[in-house]
Amino acid sequence: MRSNKDRRESALLENGWVRIIPLGGLGEIGLNMFVVETADDMVVIDAGLMFPDEEMLGIDLVIPDFSYLLEHRAKLRGLILTHGHEDHTGSLPFLLKELPIPVYGTPLSLGLAAEKIREQNLEADLRQVVPRESFHLGSLQVECMRVCHSIPDGVGVALETPAGLVVHAGDFKFDPTPVDGQLTDYHKFAELGDRGVLVLLSDSTNALRPGFTPSERTVGQALEEIFRTARRRIIVACFASHIHRIQQVLEVAARMGRKVAVHGKSMTTTTRIAADTGYLKVPPGVLVRLDELSSLSPGETVIIATGSQGEPLSAIARMAAGEHKQIEITPGDTVIFSARVIPGNEKSIARTINQLLRRGAEVVTEELAPVHVSGHPCQEELKLMLNLTRPKFFVPIHGEYRHRHHHAKLAAAVGIAPDHICLAENGDILEFTPDKGGVVGTVGGGRVFVDGKGVGDVGDAVLRERQHLARDGMVVVVIGLHPQTRAVVTGPEIISRGFIHLQDQEVLFDAAKRLVNEVLMGCPEEERMETAVLKENVKATLRKYIQKTFDRRPMILPVIIEMEGVTHDKAEFMVPSE
């Protein structure tokens, strides 16, 4: 009798199979990366990053773990970008350092990716795709479909595999009046549905929001009303990648007779690339340099700047704090925050807004006027995508578990069989044949932290130590021992950082020094010879004393130095200053 494993392998060989492996993008909004694998070929969709949350102290970026790709590099045929946002392209330079594979995308997506690749002094094989024109990656036939999003030139991806058609919808919305006139390709998604979609992967970001996402053009109408009534200078804070938003600011400014300066490195770079590739239409004579604004009256000027999330070093934050070298906020200025609040940034945004208001500026957010709309689909659009494609299996992606959970409920409501809906996690191996599908295993993976030039050298243990230091401070105990006799030559000296005030620590630590001395004197000779044992005894004694005396738990670092012929009064200890 054949085992279940034998029967499964026989079915795979007979019917063909495809595996979909999320390496990021499930359980978070960001870090998007999906592997589509067959017996002979492997294709990656997107290579995103995620910005660290407040608990990831000192971390600059978070990227996916590429280990699975490195292990199967012989099968890897290329990577496809759905659009140019950093949560879909940001880890590309890190991947290309390890795997110099071809990268496929639309002109704007490739232009933005190329800039990041050049910044890392890398070269890449970038290949342009045209929506609705198919191409092959190994034995896989690939076709891209136009979708609306908050950045132009976005696409969904369809892959014809031995098991059937796999469709990744990309980040999309069904905007009936897009700024650039490029509708989401309803007809192509319907055509794919008619051909028969085996698996659909679809964006879950707004799965809890009823109705339809408003059109981007509604923001233009709100901006026009604000521009019409603004008395002095207007400053618009938005994401640098939001080309449609920048386009509308330029057009409204041109109609109102105002000049526009673009400020911030990422903003300047993105607008330049978008203009060069034809995705940003700049009205003649509207754009000026920032230093040219001083020759114009405030009522004739607009600044588009970074800082919609209150980032401390952004242009808007520096203006709000009065630390900007060229721009000083004055009473009557209008500052528009034309972006959604990313969870975790509420405090920094509130701080920036408070500072702007104290300086007399008028501040407009989406709570006060419709100055922002999402680039992601709400519930009715999600149901429309499901009905157009009519997949046999469905995998909600791009969101936290709560988003994907509610997206799964929407799928069940439109008729997808509940046992054909896969609520997967990063690292799960989703395997599909024409008749069956589900999780069959996991791959090693997870999040990789980027800290400065270090990639992956900071793990969870280091983060916990950083959190411990930030929360409770540090106590250092320095002891000098004779290398042969292990007699105390000098110390113990106790220094703290982030624990108690420097002026108080000498008196408060007198008792602690006596306790450490008692440990040193009371240690058997064999324990005193073992530095690690001695350190642990000192640490345990101090931990107990500090917890009892101060009800605190600082990090305790014993430092034992071998010192020969040094007297106590000549010993010096180099400890970082506050």
The predicted-structure confidence for 241-297, as pLDDT tens digits, reads as follows 999 999 999 999 999 999 999 998 889 999 999 999 999 999 999 999 999 998 999
Could you tell me the residue ranges of all domains in the chain?
16-211+375-452, 217-364, 460-570
pLDDT higher than threshold 80 for residue 18 = yes
* Whether residue 203 lies in the annotated active site: yes
- Residue 491: what pLDDT? 67
At the topology level, CATH places domain 16-211+375-452 in Metallo-beta-lactamase; Chain A (3.60.15)
Backbone angles phi and psi of 394, in degrees to 5: -135, 135
Per-residue pLDDT band for 548 (boundaries 50, 70, 90) equals confident
Name every residue whose Cβ is closer than 8 Å to that of residue 415 and which is 6 or more positions away in sequence: none
Which of 554 and 331 is assigned the larger pLDDT? 331
Bridge partners for 567 per DSSP? none
Confirm whether 217-364 and 460-570 share one CATH topology.
no
Name every residue whose Cβ is closer than 8 Å to that of residue 448 and which is 6 or more positions away in sequence: 62, 63, 64, 65, 66, 455, 456
pLDDT higher than threshold 60 for residue 511 = yes
CA angle 553, 557, 561 (to 5 degrees): 160
Which of 311 and 379 is assigned the larger pLDDT? 379
pLDDT higher than threshold 90 for residue 534 = no
How far apart are alpha carbons 316 and 263 in whole angstroms?
Answer: 10
Catalytic residue among 153, 171, 175, 203: 203
Query: In what helix (H) or strand (E) does residue 513 lie, and over which residues does it extend?
Result: helix 510-522
Residue in this structure with the two tokens 């407040």, named with its chain if needed: 54
**217-364 CATH choice from 3.40.50.10710, 3.40.50.970, 1.20.120.1200, 3.40.50.1000:** 3.40.50.10710
* Tens digits of residue pLDDT in 33-42: 999 999 999 9
pLDDT higher than threshold 90 for residue 445 = no
Residue in this structure with the two tokens 């369809």, named with its chain if needed: 158
Bridge partners for 197 per DSSP? 165
Query: In what helix (H) or strand (E) does residue 87 lie, and over which residues does it extend?
Result: helix 86-89
Alpha helices in 359-427 (DSSP H): 379-389, 401-413
Residue in this structure with the two tokens 């009519």, named with its chain if needed: 390
- Residue 170: what pLDDT? 97
Compute the residue count for the chain: 578
Name every residue whose Cβ is closer than 8 Å to that of residue 578 and which is 6 or more positions away in sequence: 497, 502
**460-570 CATH choice from 3.40.50.970, 3.30.390.10, 3.10.20.580, 3.40.109.10:** 3.10.20.580
From the list 118, 259, 132, 265, the residue with the least C-alpha distance to 187 is: 132
Backbone angles phi and psi of 377, in degrees to 5: -80, 140
pLDDT higher than threshold 80 for residue 569 = no
* Whether residue 41 lies in the annotated active site: no
- Residue 12: what pLDDT? 53
Question: Biggest alpha carbon distance in the chain?
Answer: 88
- Residue 543: what pLDDT? 80
Catalytic residue among 376, 398, 403, 407: 376
Mean pLDDT, the chain, rounded, equals 86
How far apart are alpha carbons 73 and 84 in whole angstroms?
Answer: 24
What percent of the chain has a predicted confidence (pLDDT) above 90? 63
In the chain, DSSP finds a helix count (H) and a strand count (E) of: 18, 25
Using DSSP's 3-state secondary structure scheme, residue 146 falls into strand
Residue in this structure with the two tokens 């998007």, named with its chain if needed: 32
